[in-house]
Structure 1
Amino acid sequence: MPKRQKNDIFRFKQFSVEHALCGMKVSTEACILGAWAPPPATAPRHILDIGTGSGLLALMLAQRFPEALVHAVELEENACRQARLNFSRSPFASRICLFEQQDVLQWNAPCLYDLIVVNPPFFASSMRPQEQRKQLATHGVESLPPQKLAARSQQLLAPQGQLVVLYPPHEMQQFEQYAKKVGLHAIQQMQIYHSEKHPLFRLITVFSKQAQQIKRIETLYIRQANQIDYHPSYTQLLRPFYVIF
């Protein structure tokens, strides 16, 4: 993870993220999503972060694609305050536009997007009921159900654009079915494991309106087999962002 301060500020190499007001906190898997999300064949000009929360993904994408305009949509008021602050303090402030307290399902988007990135809310099947209640109160899955996310993303995506989504394995399987029904095809996937000794943890899947015969699969381990040292592939991916690498 990036360097964390006592006041809930995460220090990255080019920006900082505060997240105390957000239901969805900075997480390792979100950082992997922001660092890995592959662009379409040509460099994206317009990027959308749905449910930006603290603004982490929008900031990471703005760093990776210096010619792009990044739009960030957020419904919850406190998260909007947090994202607004994080954006304003970053070197990318002029290229990030926050659409505050907007429901993406009803939002009047100003353009179509070459790259859409989403770290959506979900109820993992392994969650205890009390964890589900906490998540429901902060960033509820009912605000962005997967079938509606798939349909809305298809509407917002440019013809050659790509949608990149993060889910646990079971939820991703469901989302792929919803996506296929609206004409979005899974073309690439990142499988995330804590280490070689752990089961599959998260999936990041790339969707396109253009179908292809084979879905490209990549694997990422966060830790090495000793479960202490970071895996080289993780270190390489996050080196442009984490101050510890």
Structure 2
Amino acid sequence: MSNQAFKFKEFTVEQDKCAMKIGTDGVLLGAWVPLSHYPKSILDIGTGTGILALMMAQRSEAFLIDAIEIEENAYEQAVENFENSMWGDRLFCYHADLNEFAEEMQDEEKYDLIISNPPFYSPPLPVASPPRGEKFSEARKIARFNDALPFEHLVRGVSFLLSEDGIFSVIIPYAEEEKFISLAAKENLFPQKITRVRGTEKSELKRSLLNFSFHKTGTEEDELILEISRHNYTEEFKKMVAPFYLKL
């Protein structure tokens, strides 16, 4: 994976210190998250490079955007990316795991929006990873495998930190959707919107974008197709990410 900085239209993300580089999932979530409730405070759980928090700074008027990151190098990189952006006065990163952070913040004001692009994979390592001849660093394991942030811990932490009328937005594998919704329900978090993502019209569902709240209402469901053919993106996807990608 490239260590080169990733340049967006309004900010640049350095990623040489981070185990997990900029990918479609993070950008997709950051562009998709509905902001119709005009959040004043936002929390990004497992920020990595800081990409999601930076996208929220560009898209929203939130006066406070916090991020937490457990891996030290990624934490330092996120701090650097925040400081080098035009929104440095609104962006703050904490070097902590979610349980520690939730415990310390439980008596503080809750967040109006919580976002997360959490680790997807469960150990042992997937057959296709890492690349031939390489070994997973501890940092990459933390970024990649959900034993570092189990879904149960994620939804529990969110339940402590989310405001009464707040929104929790997350991207997960489609195969994990039913399980994740069940876990969230145990913490009184219910899906408001679900967008299921396909690479192309004929490919299988790959990801689920989910919005949760403490209010049990009807669930809006739709699909998003990313490409018509290789690097030939659908108009819907281009419209979503055009405010960020340089070439769109």
Fold similarity call, TM over 0.5? yes
- The residue type paired with residue 21 of structure 1 is K
Query: Structure 1 CA distance, aligned partners of 2:38 and 2:146?
Result: 31
Q: How big is the shift at 1:124?
A: 6.8
Which of the numbers 192, 206, 210 marks the counterpart of 1:205?
A: 210
Give how far 1:19 is off. Answer: 1.4
1:38-73 deviations in Å (ceiling 9; x for gaps): 13x531000000010000000000110134310001
For the pair 1:235 / 2:238, whether they are aligned, the reply is: yes
Decide which of 221, 226, 234 is 1:222's aligned counterpart. Answer: 226
Q: Is the 8 A contact 2:3 2:15 kept in 1?
A: no
Per-residue CA distance 1:85-108 (angstroms, 9 max, x = gap)? 1111100101001112x0111112
Between the aligned partners of 1:22 and 1:141, the Cα distance in structure 2 is 17
Which one of the candidate residues 149, 158, 175 is aligned to 1:153?
158
Distance 2:48 2:238 in 1: 25
Choose which of 5, 9, 13 in structure 1 pairs with 2:9: 13
For residues 130 and 28 of structure 1, what CA distance do their matches in structure 2 show? Answer: 19
Identify if the C-alpha distance between structure 1 residues 23 and 111 changes in structure 2 by more than 3 Å, giving closer, same or farther: farther
Q: Deviations over 1:145-190 (max 9, x none)?
A: 1111111101110000010011001222211110001100011011
Stretches of structure 2 that go unaligned for 5 or more consecutive residues are none
- 228-237 vs 53-62, which moves further: 228-237
Name 1:58's counterpart in structure 2: 53
Alignment check: 8 A CA contact 1:22 1:78 kept? yes
Deviation, 1:240, is: 0.8
1:49 equivalent in structure 2? 44
Q: Is the 8 A contact 1:124 1:171 kept in 2?
A: no
Contact 1:121 1:140 in 2 (8 A): yes
User: In structure 1, how many angstroms separate the alpha carbons of the residues matched to 2:165 and 2:98?
Assistant: 21
Aligned mates of 2:203, 2:165 — CA distance in 1: 36
Q: 1 CA distance for matches of 2:194 and 2:142?
A: 30
- Cα distance in 1 for residues equivalent to 2:224 and 2:231: 16
Q: Which runs of 5+ in 1 are unaligned?
A: none
Alignment of 1:29-178 (within 5 A): 29-39=25-35, 41-100=36-95, 102-107=96-101, 108-109=104-105, 110-123=108-121, 128-129=126-127, 131=129, 134=136, 135-136=140-141, 138-178=143-183
TM score, norm. by length of structure 2? 0.89
Once superposed, what is the RMSD of the aligned Cα atoms?
Answer: 2.0
Distance 1:47 1:14 in 2: 19
1:112-167, Cα deviation, whole Å (9 max, x unpaired): 11000000002179x73462883535443112111111111011100000100110
Output the amino acid matched with 2:4: D
Aligned-partner Cα distance in 1 for 2:238–2:128: 34
TM-score, length-scaled by structure 1: 0.90
Q: How many residues are aligned here?
A: 236
Structure 2 residue matching 1:141: 3-state secondary structure: coil
8 Å CA contact 2:40, 2:61 repeated in 1: no
Q: 1:197 to 1:130 in 2, by over 3 A?
A: closer
Aligned partner letter, 1:118: S
The residue identity in structure 2 corresponding to 1:103 is D
Whether the aligned pair in 1 keeps the contact of 2:79 and 2:92 (CA below 8 Å) is no
Which shows bigger deviation, 77-86 or 136-145?
136-145
Q: What is the aligned-residue identity percentage?
A: 33
Q: 3-state DSSP class of the match of 2:114? A: strand
